[in-house]
Amino acid sequence: MSFRKHLCLFLPSLFLAAAVPATPPTPRDALARIAADDSLANYRQRLVDAARRDAGKPILRRPQTLEELQSSPTAIRYKTKPAHFSKVDDANWRTFALSLGDVRAGETLVGRLPRIAAGYVFSGDPALLEHVTAQLAELATWSPLQRPGWSINNGNPRLRPGGDGAWLGTGYLVRAITDTLSILPADALASDLRAALHARLESEIASIEEDFRTGRPWYVRARAIHSNQWVLPNEALVRACLALPPDRAAKHSAALELGVSNLLLSLDAQGSQGEFVEGHAYAAITLGGVLSAARATATAPEQDTRLLDHPFLQNFPTWFAHHIQPGGQVLNAFDSGNRAMTAYQSFLAAFVAATGSPVALWTLRNHTGFPDNSPDGLVARLLSPTAVTASPPPLFAHYPVATRVNWRSSWDDTTATGFWMRGGHATDFHDHMDRGHVNFVVGPRPILIEAGTFNYGLRDYPTHYRGVGGHNVLQLGDVPLADQTPEILASRAGQILDARHRSAPMTVQRMDADGGSATVDVSSCYKNVSRWVRHVEWDCSGLTVRDEVALDAADIVLFRWHLGLRPGDATTLRGTQLTADGFTLAWESTRLLLARMETMPDTTLEKGANELGRHQALVVRSREPVTQLVLTTRLRTIPAAPTDKPTTSEAR
């Protein structure tokens, strides 16, 4: 259902005109309606209070040295060169860090500036306008908005001649500027500042056009239409064109069409059921840019709704909501970070403000809560419970793209059972070696988990997080994780992450309110595997996994089960069964097996920005190298065991 249909059905009170128009409201119109709605007075005041706190902070100035960057509010997460920059010399590291600092500034200002501008609209506080004016004047001097160097890494240790073009900082900073201009009263800024901003935007338009004409950025040369790195510069192109005065905007009609067409290509590259090929965290980054451009084009005089009407945007909120697991857990496949779903409040509010999606609104109401610090949060609140009957998404689904099955017994996070299993698709990106992974949560208790993602700078990110070692999947050989080089992972131990080897199709035999049965074929994902087929049957109380493995040459067959158990939690490992508080895990095989417990890192049990957790994992492996193995593993939940059970770390 398109925005027009959503809003005609659910949102007549949002608009100032008596007849419901065919597009979402402009930011000024939406804020005018919010300002006139007495029921939103408390929420308006919360936003004004947040705006005043922001306005009390220093203006963000552009750092020119590493020392200035490290002491600035936009300091990047890496205080020193991380492992994946070991081949980059100090000069190029400085260039990269300053470029990434521009992205951090954009990430900050894309929320802060529109919030302060809206606070000024609601309060008339001149201090808020003074801060906005000063920050916009500073941004007008940033030439370009995104400095070169962002593409530097171990694979590309020096900046290419001619630079690397527009990037994420371009998108964020153009959005911060243009969102702010669209919120402020038309006469709020001095004409010379407005002219300077228009000149800055026209310079960015020319640079982005050159990027696409010459292939300067990697994402243009690779035609990476699926990527956030493609989307945000194209968002910037669209927003910059539409923010210019009509006479100057008319000169950039070709650039505007280029940006819109490129964004439509990005939406075409995603799954037809709303699947995003880079996972949900990167979806929020990327679609934040798409929604920004879609709203701007739809509310422009031409009312171009091509982006807003794309079927992907209609289906995406259900796919996104299906990442919500019981007990505050998240379906954290791909490079998804360790943020709780509440971290996506502003993104979901923007989705509601742009599309009127009932599923996105339901998710805000029932799981994430509304953001109190964004104008879009107030727009979303206008969809009052009496205006919309928001229905929850289905409890289960099979997604062929970004391949997975997810299932819940109910939407009650305190009592529901949650299950998900990963396959693989050739178009996956920012993915892990997780084909075949199985996850299981009962109420507030995670039982089977994956390691998740923290950041790319961790030395053991390739082995303990992204690699097979971070997931409940097959590993060949018992090479210690710390010794699993990229060559060992690709040639023996792990899955191969390229288009030829990423596909792991799933077949669902049954899925209903009682549970389900599904099979994933991971046979093409390893160098030395001729067959690995995993069949899983599950219900509220447990699951049964049958693994059939055949190898091209004899090797150790190893399976790892990451458990929602902290290192101090009691376990008993005896024979072919692990017993823990609340569940048992038992296995049987056609081959003699060894079993042991390991302590592993994760970002799943912890949900803080800088927190790493530790958990226990069960390793079950063949005693000797084999060419074939069938393994059946059964997980059953049980009443909580006594806390004084003995702990055994290894059994054979």
> CB–CB of 586/561 below 8 Å?
no
Range of weakest confidence among 308-317, 381-390, 521-530, 559-568: 381-390
Q: Regarding beta strands 593-602 and 650-651, do their DSSP bridges make them parallel or antiparallel, or are they unpaired?
A: antiparallel
Structure confidence at residue 79 as a pLDDT band (50, 70, 90): confident
Average pLDDT over residues 638-648: 52
Q: Do the beta carbons of residue 472 and residue 562 sit within 8 Å?
A: yes
| Span 506-513, average pLDDT | 98
Do β-strands 474-476 and 577-580 pair in parallel, antiparallel, or remain unpaired?
unpaired
Split at pLDDT 50, 70, 90, the class of 400 is very high
At residue 370, the pLDDT reads: 95
In the Cβ-directed half-sphere of 169, how many Cα atoms lie within 13 Å?
26
Whether the per-residue pLDDT at 648 is higher than 90: the answer is: no
Q: What is the reported pLDDT for 145?
A: 99
**Which pLDDT does position 458 carry in this prediction?**
84
Residue 61 has a pLDDT of 97
The structural domains of the chain, ordered by start, are: 396-651 (2.70.98.70)
Q: What is the pairing mode between strands 404-408 and 417-422?
A: antiparallel
Extract long-range pairs of 514-520: CB within 8 Å, 24+ residues apart: 514/539, 514/540, 515/407, 515/419, 515/539, 515/540, 516/396, 516/405, 516/407, 516/419, 518/398, 518/405, 518/421, 520/421, 520/422, 520/423, 520/435, 520/436
> For residues 432 and 559, what is the distance between their CA atoms, to the nearest angstrom?
16
Q: Is the pLDDT of residue 19 over 70?
A: no
pLDDT band at residue 1 using 50, 70 and 90 as cut-offs: very low
The predicted structure's pLDDT at residue 477: 98
Task: Using the Cα atoms of residue 171, residue 173, residue 179 and residue 185 in order, give the sign of their dihedral.
Answer: negative
pLDDT at 74: 80
Q: pLDDT tens across 202-244, in order?
A: 999 999 999 999 999 999 999 999 999 999 999 999 999 999 9
Residue 352 predicted with pLDDT over 70: yes
Weakest-pLDDT range from 9-13, 70-74, 530-534, 586-590: 9-13
Predicted pLDDT of residue 135:
99
410-421: pLDDT as tens digits:
999 999 999 999
pTM over 0.85: yes
The Cα 212–Cα 223 span in angstroms is: 10
> How far is the C-alpha of 179 from the C-alpha of 158, rounded, in Å?
35
pLDDT at 77 over 80: no
**Rounded average pLDDT over 131-141:** 99
DSSP letters of 565-581?
--TTS-EEEETTEEEET
- 167-206 pLDDT tens trace: 999 999 999 999 999 999 999 999 999 999 999 999 999 9
Q: What pLDDT score does 75 carry?
A: 79
Can you tell me which residue has the tokens 């989705």? 351
* pLDDT surpasses 50 at 245: yes
Rounded Cα distance, 129 and 189, in Å: 9
pLDDT at 608: 57
Distance of alpha carbon 115 from alpha carbon 340, whole angstroms:
23
Please give the order of strands across the beta sheet that includes 593-602: 474-476, 557-562, 613-622, 593-602, 650-651
What pLDDT sits at residue 82? 86
What pLDDT, on a 0 to 100 scale, did the predictor assign at position 385? 53
* 276 pLDDT above the threshold of 50: yes
Cα 501–504–505 angle (5° rounding)? 140
Kindly write down the DSSP assignment for every residue of 113-137, as one continuous string: HHHHHHHHHHH--HHHHHHHHHHHH
Burial of 36 (C-beta count, 10 Å sphere; 0-12/13-18/19+): exposed
State residue 389's pLDDT score.
56
Tokens linked to 250: 């008319």
In whole angstroms, give the CA distance from residue 21 to residue 483. Answer: 61
Tell me the H-state helices in 222-363. Answer: 228-243, 246-249, 253-268, 279-299, 311-321, 345-355, 358-363
> Which of 171, 420, 425 minimizes the C-alpha distance to 277?
425
Q: Under DSSP, is residue 216 helix (H, G, I), strand (E, B) or coil? A: coil
Q: b vs e for 69-102, b when ≥16 Cβ sit within 10 Å of the residue's Cβ?
A: beebebbbebeebbebbeebeeebbbbbbbbbbb
- What pLDDT was estimated at residue 339? 84
Asked whether the beta carbons of 168 and 146 are under 8 A apart, the reply is yes
In this structure, which amino acid lies at residue 293? Answer: A
Cα–Cα distance between 614 and 597 in angstroms, integer? Answer: 13
pLDDT at 49 over 70: yes
Distance (Å) of CA 246 to CA 46, 252, 294: 36, 10, 19
- Tokens read off for 147: 């400095």
Stretch 36-65: mean pLDDT? 97
- Listed in sequence order, the residues at least 6 apart from 5 whose beta carbon sits closer than 8 Å to its beta carbon are none
Strand 613-622 to 557-562 pairing: antiparallel
pLDDT reported for residue 17: 30
Q: Average pLDDT, whole number, for the chain?
A: 92
- Residue 600, strand partner residues: 615
Per-residue pLDDT, 2: 46
Q: Count the residues in the chain.
A: 652
Q: Residue 8 above 60 pLDDT?
A: no
pLDDT of 5 higher than 50 = no
Mean pLDDT over 519-523 rounds to 99
Residue 606, pLDDT score: 75
Separation between Cα atoms, residue 366 and residue 585, nearest integer Å:
33
What digits encode the pLDDT tens for the residues 456-507? 878 899 999 999 999 999 999 999 999 999 999 999 999 999 999 999 999 9
Question: What would the pLDDT profile of 215-224 be if each residue is shown by its tens digit?
Answer: 999 999 999 9
Nearest to 420 by CA among 446, 455, 391: 446
Local confidence band at 607 (pLDDT 50, 70, 90 cut-offs): low
The stretch 585-606 carries a mean pLDDT of 95
Under the banding of pLDDT at 50, 70 and 90, the label for residue 69 is very high
